[in-house]
Amino acid sequence: MNWEDFRQWGRRAADWAADYHAGLRDRPVRAQVAPGAVLSALPDAPPEGAEAMQAIFDDFEQTIMPGMTHWQHPRFFAYFPANAAPVSVLAEYFVSAIAAQCMLWQTSPAATELETRVCDWMRQAIGLPDGFTGVIQDSASSATLCAVLTMRERALNWQGNKAGLSGQPRLRVYCSAEVHTSVDRAIWIAGLGEENLVRIPTHGPTRAMDADALRAAIAADRAAGHLPAGIIACTGGTSAGASDDIAAVMDVAEAEGLYTHVDAAWAGSAMICPEFRSLWAGVERADSVVMNPHKWLGAQFDCTTHFLRNPDDLVRTLAIQPEYLKTHGADGIVNYSEWSVPLGRRFRALKLWFLIRAHGLDGLREMIRNHVTWAQGLAARLEATEGFEVVTQPMLSLFTFRHLATADLDAHNQDLLNRINDDGRIYLTQTRIDGALVIRFQAGAFTATAEDVAMAYDVITELAAAGT
Ligand SMILES: *Cc1c(COP(=O)(O)O)cnc(C)c1O
């Protein structure tokens, strides 16, 4: 394909995308294909000769699309949302056409300076104080890895990268059992070892880390000759929205001199609404905070904003600066590749800029407030329906429930969930709460309406009745 052909196909792609979204409600949310079906429909060997774009497009529609789960479906209530507002899709289209590597200021000054500006817009939008500096990472997992590496280097007085970890005391990091698995991965990759990720018990309906237990664990580690390095708190855990008491965690961290990272990958988007900020009260004292505009807010994946109270520690941990990457001279120049693990960087700021401008913070707030209200409404309706139990109350737009049965509750709810997802009108996933299998519900799709959430009630109660 050359750029002249691209003109025509680009227009067709725009039409296709608009049609696809217009027809989403008629598609089953979760792909209904059997394992291996797509693979076996694809030729074993690559073509030797060029194929016509029309043939490629036909196979895309006939072979690939039926095997896709529709994350932009208005009745996608599974996992967390991965919203892609149309305007952010458009921005990505421009970004992929320009295809710049935005690793250094000079490799695209506008990309760097726009990133600085939109990160500061996001900082203001979520109510972090002046003084926090942002960077866009590819994922919350990467941001958390950066934070753990920073904890490690700080605790080792910047000797870890140089001398390695052998011969060092055991570095210890603290969190609850509610944090995302990306924390475990970060600990593995940073060379700390899973055994040194200390799980602090939680308490209360928010499933928050017990600050006294945290203090005691740190004291015990110091007594044993270990080296406490940092604390990872969460606002809006993945399973059921667990949220630590950040102020209480910060009291401990400040007394112990520990680096703190707050993972609000999902719930952070809700912080554009001031009424939800009490959920992470104390966050302004944290060293590092991550939230994903690519989840609830509507910036096409990938777009993670990572805020640092002082970026020097992170840059000191990650900057390499070989001769060929140096941009000599100019003061005030930021090279964001020194703030993240990969060198190459996509131009991710553009979609966030487009998104915030096209919707305005008020438009985005309205979406989030609706989702929270609708999720609360659905939880209340299920709770009032005989045979249903709300297991964890709505945390923003996320709650868990189960259908009661006389026999094996876990098997009964797994079966109900399977039948719901095979039905296709809605899509839900499961988690475990205190060992029991429960069904998760989150409202978060960009185009969801109150009617879509009402349909969730109908589907859940209809299929629960059919199975008993
Ligand atoms: C989704 C999620 C993550 C992982 O986000 P990625 O950007 O996919 O790495 C981490 N933590 C929490 C709380 C999440 O909800």
Residue 386 sits in the same domain as residue 306: no
Position 328 scores a pLDDT of 63
Position 202 scores a pLDDT of 96
Give CA–CA dist 140/290, Å, rounded. 6
Asked if the structure places residue 171 within a domain, the reply is yes
Residue 151 sits in the same domain as residue 257: yes
* 305 Cβ inside 6 Å of ligand 1: no
* DSSP SS3 for 207: coil
Residue 206 sits in the same domain as residue 334: yes
Asked if the structure places residue 366 within a domain, the reply is yes
Position 77 scores a pLDDT of 98
CB 341 within 8 A of CB 139: no
Position 343 scores a pLDDT of 93
Which residue's CA lies nearest to atom 5 of ligand 1? 140
**Cβ partners under 8 Å of residue 421, min gap 6:** 29, 30, 427, 428
Give CA–CA dist 171/64, Å, rounded. 46
| Number of folded domains that form the chain | 3
Residue 342 sits in the same domain as residue 365: no
Which among 138, 182, 234 is the best mutation to test ligand 1's pocket, defined by most ligand atoms within 8 Å of the CB? Answer: 182
Position 329 scores a pLDDT of 60
50, 69, 88 - which closes a domain: 69
Buried b (16+ CB within 10 A) or exposed e, 313-342: bbbebbeeeeeebeeeeeeeebbbbbbbee
Give CA–CA dist 212/25, Å, rounded. 49
Residue 296 sits in the same domain as residue 399: no
Asked if the structure places residue 201 within a domain, the reply is yes
* 340 Cβ inside 6 Å of ligand 1: no
Position 467 scores a pLDDT of 84
320, 346, 372 - which closes a domain: 346
**Cβ partners under 8 Å of residue 162, min gap 6:** none
Residues comprising the chain, all counted:
468
- Model confidence over 302-317: pLDDT tens digits? 999 999 999 999 999 9
Give CA–CA dist 276/268, Å, rounded. 10
pTM (two decimals): 0.96
Asked if the structure places residue 78 within a domain, the reply is no
Is beta strand 197-200 parallel, antiparallel or unpaired with respect to 171-176?
parallel
Query: What are the residue ranges in the chain where pLDDT is below 70?
Result: 324-331, 468
Position 321 scores a pLDDT of 75
Ligand 1 centroid, distance to 183 Cα (angstroms):
10
Edge-to-edge strand ranges of the sheet holding 304-308: 133-137, 304-308, 288-291, 259-263, 227-234, 171-176, 197-200
> The domain that contains 21 carries what CATH number?
1.20.1340.10
Ligand 1 centroid, distance to 269 Cα (angstroms):
12
Any idea which residue has 């750029």 for tokens?
3
Residue 290 sits in the same domain as residue 341: yes
Residue 15 sits in the same domain as residue 109: no
Give CA–CA dist 267/393, Å, rounded. 15
Two tokens, residue 190: 């940073």
* 265 Cβ inside 6 Å of ligand 1: yes
Q: Give the distance from CA 141 to its chain's centroid.
A: 8
Any idea which residue has 């104080």 for tokens?
129
* Cα-based angle 88, 398, 68 (whole degrees, multiple of 5): 50
Residue 320 sits in the same domain as residue 404: no
CB 306 within 8 A of CB 102: no
Asked if the structure places residue 355 within a domain, the reply is no
> The domain that contains 306 carries what CATH number?
3.40.640.10
Ligand 1 centroid, distance to 363 Cα (angstroms):
24
289, 314, 346 - which closes a domain: 346
Residue 59 sits in the same domain as residue 107: no
Asked if the structure places residue 379 within a domain, the reply is yes
Position 96 scores a pLDDT of 96
Residue 247 sits in the same domain as residue 130: yes
Ligand 1 centroid, distance to 121 Cα (angstroms):
21
CB 145 within 8 A of CB 183: no
Which among 180, 304, 306 is the best mutation to test ligand 1's pocket, defined by most ligand atoms within 8 Å of the CB? Answer: 180
DSSP string, 295-337: III---SS-EEEEES-HHHHHHHH----GGG---S-TT---GG
Asked if the structure places residue 443 within a domain, the reply is yes
Residue 333 sits in the same domain as residue 207: yes
Which among 144, 292, 296 is the best mutation to test ligand 1's pocket, defined by most ligand atoms within 8 Å of the CB? Answer: 292
> The domain that contains 458 carries what CATH number?
3.90.1150.170
Give CA–CA dist 135/315, Å, rounded. 11
Owning domain of residue 14 = 3-69
Position 109 scores a pLDDT of 94
Position 355 scores a pLDDT of 98
Position 468 scores a pLDDT of 63
Asked if the structure places residue 150 within a domain, the reply is yes
Residue 419 sits in the same domain as residue 277: no
Give the atom of ligand 1 at the shortest distance from the alpha carbon of 182: 10
